[in-house]
Amino acid sequence: MEVETCLRKMGLVLPEPPEPVGHYQAFVRAGNLVFISGQLPLINGALTHRGQVGSDLTLDEGYDAARTCALNVLAQIKKALGGFQRLRAIVRLDGYINAATGFSDLSRVLDGASDLFAQTLRERAGHSRTVAAHSGLPLNAAVEVVAIVEVE
């Protein structure tokens, strides 16, 4: 099943890929790898999840924030590759969590991104992953998700 068909069945729509919030590119290709810039939970230019997970936001809200970041990763992949046909795999995913002191359930937050990839990309979803808490993120976003993908 197509990625966007999967999303529709989940009640989700691929957003417009956000423009960079600084002097850089949204993605850069080198050989068969595409490096995608850090994606925030932005929909139509507005942050959907702001503040720290574990104080301002619950774990479930953090999970949703990570899922929205992952939607933007998918939107950037579509723009970079002209669709999903030539995507071979998500190779690496880094999750930066804006988290309250003492909140260490970081992996469950980032599963919001990983689960979306599993549900839409299936066997092409399998990625290595890192996650850590940060004392702040751009625009005070709750989550930032970074990806490296491989192209056929």
Site mask for a copy of itself (CB under 8 A), range 59-98, x = bound = -----------------------------xx-xxxx-xx-
To a copy of itself, the closest distance from the beta carbon of 79 in angstroms equals 13
112 to 23, 33, 75, 116: CA distances (angstroms): 28, 23, 16, 6
Q: Is 6 in the site for a copy of itself (CB under 8 A)?
A: no
Q: Is 111 in the site for a copy of itself (CB under 8 A)?
A: yes
CB 92 within 8 A of CB 117: no
- Tokens encoding 127: 């990625």
Q: Is 64 left (phi over 0), alpha (psi -120 to 50) or beta?
A: alpha
Q: Is 48 in the site for a copy of itself (CB under 8 A)?
A: no
Closest to 74 (Cα-Cα) out of 19, 149, 142, 151: 149
Stretch of 8-16, 26-34, 56-64, 67-75 lying at the interface with a copy of itself (CB under 8 A): 26-34
- Tokens encoding 9: 């069945």
Contacts with a copy of itself by CB under 8 A lie at 20-28, 30-33, 35-38, 88-89, 91-94, 96-97, 99, 101-104, 106-108, 110-111, 114-115, 118, 126-140, 144, 146, 148, 150
